[in-house]
Amino acid sequence: MATTLPSQMARSWWILVLYGVIGVIFGLVAIARPGEAALALAWTIGVMAIAEAVISVVAMFSGEGAVSKGWLAFYALVSLVFGVLAVMNPLATAAGLVIFLGAWLLVSGIFRIVFAIRVRKQIDGEWMIGLSGLLAIVLGAMFMAKPLIGALVTTFWIGAIALVYGVMQIAAGLRLRKMVRIA
């Protein structure tokens, strides 16, 4: 027995395909040109931060903010400063984000090793947790030592994931289209 798809979903199969095409294009660009893609991502984050600053100022003056005007003003200022810096110097932003990622990996790696040592008598395979901690520390140290290379590698992997995502979205959209024709 075939399931009937809601008509709105049936008519919007092309949206999935469009998302997929965008994902594939972004993925291919990020894989082929990770440097440019990393800069574009950092620049986009900066633009988003500026937009959030503007929205926060509007919310502050409209009285529709869920937090106090002081917090909105603080958030707007921090977002604006970060956004302008990211737009003006996306290379430094990308490198800075990778340094923060490296620092987090160092801390999380140490945490995993300590955790593995503490639970070694309660669970089997704790060495895998410890090994994942060691790998996180190595990756974090590499990111902090060479943040620009880390940004390129990270962008490459984001591109690979976007490529897979895009292909899956296209396949889902085309499958939905086929189901619509059958129904």
CA-to-CA distance for 63 and 89, rounded, in angstroms? 34
pTM of the model: 0.67
CA-to-CA distance for 130 and 32, rounded, in angstroms? 35
**Residue 138, pLDDT above cutoff 60:** yes
CA-to-CA distance for 143 and 131, rounded, in angstroms? 18
**Residue 114, pLDDT above cutoff 60:** yes
Alpha helices in the chain (DSSP H): 7-11, 13-32, 34-62, 69-88, 90-118, 126-145, 147-182
CA-to-CA distance for 134 and 33, rounded, in angstroms? 30
For residues 26 and 165, the answer to whether their CB atoms sit within 8 Å is no
CA-to-CA distance for 74 and 68, rounded, in angstroms? 10
CA-to-CA distance for 143 and 101, rounded, in angstroms? 8
Summarize the confidence of residues 119-136 as an average pLDDT.
91
**Residue 139: predicted pLDDT:** 94
CA-to-CA distance for 163 and 81, rounded, in angstroms? 33
Q: How confident is the model at residue 79 (pLDDT cuts 50, 70, 90)?
A: very high
Average pLDDT, the chain: 89
**Residue 180, pLDDT above cutoff 80:** no
